[in-house]
Structure formats: structure tokens, C-alpha cells
Structure 1
Amino acid sequence: MCGNNMSAPLSASIVPAARKATAAVIFLHGLGDSGHGWAESFEGLRIQHVKYICPHAPAMPVTLNMRMVMPSWFDIYGLDFSSSEDEAGIKRASETIKALIEQEVKNGIPSHRILLGGFSQGGALSLYTALTTQQKLAGVVALSCWLPLHNTFPQASANSANKDMPVLQCHGNADPIVNYSFGKMTEGRMKTLVNPDNYTFNTYQGLAHSSSPKEMDDIKHFILKTLPPDGNE
């Protein structure tokens, strides 16, 4: 599937709620990965009323990796904070995620009971999507990532419904792929776009470009806080 087919429905790994799903987490994987591994991780974070949806990105050539074809939400030209960006691809991917959120709304879960998140490239897309959608979300979990098209804000987020959304941003300070300093710059930029009182930035000492049991535990607490039982389970 090429990059121009992001409008096609996404397949996903799904961890169903143990009971009736009254809330959902949509989590986007990183470059070259799939939703399977993250679905397995979320199996360990079972919360009875929460459904986990881990979609798979389509395969496309990635400039950063010598145009090799791999799962990718959009093209990446470089990992410098000033690198050129695939603006059209980012916007197209964001619309696909908004459509996925809308599908869950049609399935009976209101958007304010949907938490959006992702790792690395997926985290970048989750931040961009949350800042540009009219769908009011429960919050965002952004792991080891950056804010794409950061120079287009605040104009792009002028009408966002999510200025007061809770955000949990996590980054290892030994990340050799997405530098920790990019994470801190993203935190600074994000705090000018959303309510800083609802923003949490967690640093993980010695963590590289990956997750950890402590981080997953922090994510579980954030999910429980932002998606509590609504009494209808």
C-alpha cells in the first residue's frame, strides 16, 4: 500500500474490554513497527471498561531509511528538529486517525471517552491530530516523540476542541533516535498550545528509544485517571 492510500480503512490489533467497553485507547506505533507489540503490552494493562485499538500503518518508502518500504504513518526526511517535513503526508495520516476516532464514536464510545496516544512517529501523529481535530478527546499519551509541523502552530490549532486536554509526555534521557532535547522542546511548545496545568512530562533515566515497565505503569495510572468507569459497565 503506498502513501496515497492512507484514506483506506486501517487494520488494527484490538484488545477488547473485559466487560462492556465504555472507553477506548487508540495507540499508534512507531516507524517500521506494527500495532501487534503494543497490543500485547496493553494486554498487561487490562482495565475492565477500556478497549485498546492499535492500528497498523500502511507500508511506504521512507526517505530517512534510503527509501526502503516499511510501515510508516508519513514520510520522514530527517530527525533533526529543523528537518523538512512531509506536510501533506502528516495531514493525510491525521485525517485517517480522525476517521478512526469517528468510527469508534459510531460504535458507541463518545470522543471524550477516547484517549489518543503513540510511540515515536505514532506519538508525533497523535499530538498533531489532537491539536487539529474538532473531536473532543479524553487526552493524549505521547511517548519518545516530537510535535510535527511545530512551526505551523498555533494557527493550525486555533479551533481545536482540546486546549484543556490532559497530556502525558514520556521520554528516556538516553534516547539515541529521537533526542531527549527534542522531547523537551516539544514540551515547551505544547505548553503554549494547551493548558500547562494539565500537562505532565516524565523523564526516564537511562531509557533509550523504547518503553519500560515504569513507563507502562505511569501510562496505566494516566488511563485510569482520564478514563474512569462511567457506571454503565
Structure 2
Amino acid sequence: MSQPHVIEPSTTTRHCVIWLHGLGADRFDFVPVVDALDLPDDHGIRFIFPQAPTRPVTINGGFPMPSWYDILGMAPARAISHEQMQESADTVLSLVNQQIAAGVPAEHIILAGFSQGGAVVLHAAMQSDLTLGGVMALSTYGPTLDTLVEGRTARPLAVFCAHGLNDEMVKTTLGRQAHDVLEAAGHQVEWHDYPMGHEVCPAQIADIRQWLITRLGL
């Protein structure tokens, strides 16, 4: 697995956002969003963009591509490699622990992920007993949430859920289901939808900016 791409703040690091890309993309996919967020100059956020390993993906005919986990089937519910999901979640939690060791408090660490990456950060966050700063679940779903939320005893998480109303890759209903499971389990969940497909849009970036400013006290 390639080393994460890291963007250091111009001032002292006080916060960290660990941001996972989607299926078939790479660690540079969301780098342009950092500038688009137009955060205050002294935001103090270290952005870390991990890279998924390249491996065969069953639903794509076994073609190798960057993938956090194999997707074995699409219906009636997505069948995934739970072993690979756990490996990827462990990678995320290892990065979290590295940041804590470097002096960034857990409550100042945000996990973010788009599509498949979002499913991984939700899985990781639900397994952690740390009081994280929050989770951004973008155009994603929660294939493992039903079992994980039942056994979690840590404090509730703040979760920003965003989805395109015209998303043909990950249907809006899947994102909403993840939101509803988290909300029913007592987490502080926000739902945002936009007239877009499987992508990001300026209105969404503006909402992410405000959420980050609020969560991290920027």
C-alpha cells in the first residue's frame, strides 16, 4: 500500500482530517477540495489522504483497481469482503493512533470518506472507543452498521451524511438507511442531500466547510 498523501497546515497542527477516496480512485482525488473549502488561514488541520491497495474487484469482472474491500454482489444487498473491510478499518484506526501519538487529541480528529471510503470510516468509527471529532460520510452506505451499532458503548458520534439525489452508483436510499441506523442508535447525525450524482458539488463543499468550522472550533 502506498504511503498517504499529507497536506500540512501553515501553522501548528491542532486538528487532523483522515479522508478516504472511493472505489477506483486514488489518494489525490480529494486534494483539490482542501483549497475549495477556503478554511481560515490558521485552521491548523493536517489532511491525510490514504491510498487503497490495488486488488481484483468481483463486481467489475475481477479487474484490479484501488479498492478498500472487494464487492462480491450488488443485490438484494451489497455483499462485501468483511476481512478486507476490517483490514482497511484497521489502517484508518492505526492512522488515528499515530496522530494521537503526535499530539493531536482524538476529539480533534475527523474521519471522512467518499463512497466505499465512507463505508470504511463508518466501520472504523463504530469500532473505536475514542471520542473522535466526527465522521463525514459522503455518498456512501453502511454495510456493517447494523451489527456494529449494537455493541458500541462509547460516546455518540457527530456524523455528517451527504448524498446526491441523482446518485446511480450508491442509491440515496442506501445513504439514508445508514443515517437512520446511526440516528436510531443515538448518534448526532445530520442529513444533507443535493441535486447531483455520485460526486461532490459547491453547495456540499460549503456545508462541509461550516461543519468542520463548528466541529473543530475554527
- With the length of structure 1 as denominator, give the TM-score of the two structures: 0.87
Tell me the equivalent position of 1:202: 192
Contact 1:63 1:77 in 2 (8 A): yes
RMSD (Å) for aligned C-alpha atoms:
1.6
d(CA) in 1 for partners of 2:134 and 2:110? 5
d(CA) in 2 for partners of 1:176 and 1:27? 22
Tell me the equivalent position of 2:103: 108
d(CA) in 2 for partners of 1:81 and 1:138? 34
Contact 1:124 1:148 in 2 (8 A): yes
The amino acid across from 1:193 in the alignment is A
d(CA) in 2 for partners of 1:115 and 1:152? 23
- With the length of structure 2 as denominator, give the TM-score of the two structures: 0.92
Contact 1:117 1:142 in 2 (8 A): yes
Tell me the equivalent position of 1:39: 31
Tell me the equivalent position of 1:26: 18
Tell me the equivalent position of 1:5: none
Q: Secondary structure at the match of 2:16?
A: strand
Q: Secondary structure at the match of 1:32?
A: coil
The amino acid across from 1:158 in the alignment is R
Tell me the equivalent position of 2:86: 91
Task: Give the deviation of 1:158 after TM superposition.
Answer: 2.4
The amino acid across from 2:203 in the alignment is K
d(CA) in 2 for partners of 1:194 and 1:42? 30
Contact 1:140 1:168 in 2 (8 A): yes
For 1:187-198, list aligned pairs within 5 A. Answer: 187-195=179-187, 198=188
Inter-CA distance 221–80: structure 2 relative to 1 (3 Å threshold) = farther
Number of aligned residue pairs:
215
Task: Give the deviation of 1:22 after TM superposition.
Answer: 0.2
Tell me the equivalent position of 1:171: 163
Tell me the equivalent position of 2:54: 59
The amino acid across from 2:93 in the alignment is K
The amino acid across from 1:128 in the alignment is H
For 1:130-149, list aligned pairs within 5 A. Answer: 130-149=125-144
Tell me the equivalent position of 1:180: 172
Comparing 77-86 with 133-142, greater Cα deviation is found at: 77-86
Task: Give the deviation of 1:81 after TM superposition.
Answer: 5.8
Tell me the equivalent position of 1:121: 116
Tell me the equivalent position of 1:7: none
Structure 2 gap ranges (5+): none
Instruction: Give CA deviations for 1:47-99 in whole Å, capped at 9, x if unaligned.
Output: 42111111111111111111111111111123346232211111111111100
Contact 2:69 2:80 in 1 (8 A): no
Inter-CA distance 80–213: structure 2 relative to 1 (3 Å threshold) = farther
The alignment-based identity, stated in percent, is: 28
Structure 1 gap ranges (5+): 2-9
Task: Give the deviation of 1:194 after TM superposition.
Answer: 3.3
Among candidates 206, 213, 216, match of residue 224 of structure 1 = 213
